Structure 1
Amino acid sequence: MFKKGEKVAHTAFSGTAFYMSVLDENAVAMVEELTFPVDSRTNWHSNPCGQTILVTQGEMIYQAENEPAKLLGAGDVIVVSPNVRHWHGAISEENCCLLVTYKSANEALVTFDSSVSDDNFKNAIMEAKNDKKID
């Protein structure tokens, strides 16, 4: 859908991720595209004003704190409420691309926390895939 963007040089991601701002970096509302190769993921994080995630390509896992992991594919949307601690990452062999939107209330757009271990990531994938099969 968009070009890949620039490699993210931030310790809040495991693996490689690519970032491209879709709106002006100084805007109060932000729309960004993130590209995650397989096994790449964010750390746990929260957004003070919430976040909307639209999967545009590939498959991903999304997990909110104390909630089961969810398997998402192209066209799926998750609306994350303000200050909900969560993470998301790619599980498909093709790149997983996301459009994320969020806004600021004169504070940080995102607060990153601890990383998601490889074991937790693998368990979340199995949990989400098993849950999907039950439907």
Structure 2
Amino acid sequence: MELIPPAPTAKAPKERFTGDVYLTPLHAGEAPSRLIAALVRFTPGARTNWHSHPLGQTLHCTDGTGLVATRDGNVIRMRAGDTVHTPPGEEHWHGATPDTMMGHLALAEHDDGSGATWAEPVTEQDYETATKQASR
């Protein structure tokens, strides 16, 4: 057993996120483990770029309200206590709703050192469409 001291929180890179997002790394597994875990906090309207994970991703909302959307238009509104899983290779994005902050635990496994494949930013139109769809 090992107590791991908290890692410093850092602002997420602008190349992969829109708005103010803060990452606190929790765990980066060493072989044979492949687990990558982080606490991610999004300010209102902040979100990831489109991306996918070679072995899928699990998001557990710790506070606030967020959105998770896929390329095919599926949108889930997640609230504190909700867990959303994206399967391997599914392109998606996630972030806070326009009027609330949102925090989640992000859990994924890396595949030979790669935990995610990043794509372009989510457009304002796509974000607004997802927000409207999730409010139904």
TM norm structure 1:
0.87
CA 4–128 in structure 1, closer or farther in 2 if over 3 Å, else same: farther
Structure 1 runs of 4+ with >3 Å offset: 24-27
Moved more, 102-111 or 76-85: 102-111
Which structure shows the bigger proportion of residues in helix conformation?
1
State the partner residue of 2:53.
47
Instruction: Give the aligned length.
Output: 129
- Structure 2: which 5+ residue stretches go unaligned? 1-5
Alignment equivalent of 2:13, drawn from 6, 9, 16:
9
TM norm structure 2:
0.86
| Equivalent pair of 2:29/2:35 in contact (CA under 8 Å) | no
- Structure 1: which 5+ residue stretches go unaligned? 131-135
Amino acid at match of 1:50: G
Alignment equivalent of 1:22, drawn from 22, 26, 44:
26
State the partner residue of 1:118.
124
State the partner residue of 1:98.
104
State the partner residue of 2:3.
none
TM-superposed deviation, 1:108 = 1.1
Amino acid at match of 1:47: H
Amino acid at match of 2:14: H
Which structure shows the bigger proportion of residues in strand conformation?
2
Query: What is the rounded CA distance, in whole Å, between the counterparts of 1:15 and 1:129 in structure 2?
Result: 21
